[in-house]
Amino acid sequence: MDSFLIKGGTPLRGEVEISGSKNAALPIMAAALLTPDPCVIRRVPNLSDVHFMGSILESAGATVKFQGDTVTIEAARVKGVGDYELIRKMRGSICILGPLLGRTGKALVSLPGGCVIGARPIDLHLKGLRALGAKISIENGYVNATARKLRGAELFLGGRAGPTVLGTANVLMAAVLADGVTIIESAACEPEVIDLANFLNAMGARVSGAGSPTLTVTGVRSLHGAEHEVIPDRIEAATFAVAAAATDGDVTIRGARADHLHAVLDKLREAGVSVERSGSALKVSRPGRLKAIDITTLPYAGFPTDVQAQMMVLMALTPGISIITERIFESRFMHVSELARLGADIAIEGPSAIIKGGKALSGAPVMASDLRASAALVIAGLAARGTTEVSRVYHIDRGYENIDGKLRQLGAKIVRQEAS
Q: What is the mean pLDDT of residues 105-125?
A: 69
Annotated catalytic sites, by residue?
A: 115
pLDDT > 50? residue 115: no
Q: DSSP string covering 285-329, please?
A: E--S-----EEEB-STTSB-GGGHHHHHHHHHTSSEEEEEE--S-
Tens digit of each residue's pLDDT (9 = 90 or more) over 272-323: 999 999 888 999 999 999 999 999 999 999 999 999 999 999 999 999 999 9
The pLDDT confidence band at residue 114, using thresholds 50, 70 and 90, is very low
**Regarding predicted confidence, which is higher, 420 or 335?**
335
* Residue 5 vs residues 180, 251, 322, 382, 387: alpha-carbon distances, Å: 56, 22, 29, 10, 7
Q: Which of 219, 218, 112, 125 is nearest to 163 (CA)?
A: 125
pLDDT > 50? residue 117: no
Q: Is the torsion defined by CA of 328, 329, 330, 331 positive or negative?
A: negative
pTM over 0.85: yes
Domains of the chain in sequence order: 3-15+233-417 (3.65.10.10), 23-229 (3.65.10.10)
Number of C-alpha atoms within 13 angstroms, CB side, residue 172?
37
Q: Which amino acid is it at 57?
A: L
Pick the range with the lowest mean pLDDT from 75-84, 139-148, 342-351, 405-414.
75-84
In terms of DSSP bridges, do strands 214-218 and 181-185 run parallel, antiparallel, or are they unpaired? Answer: antiparallel
pLDDT > 80? residue 239: yes
Report d(CA 117, CA 297) in Å as an integer.
Answer: 14
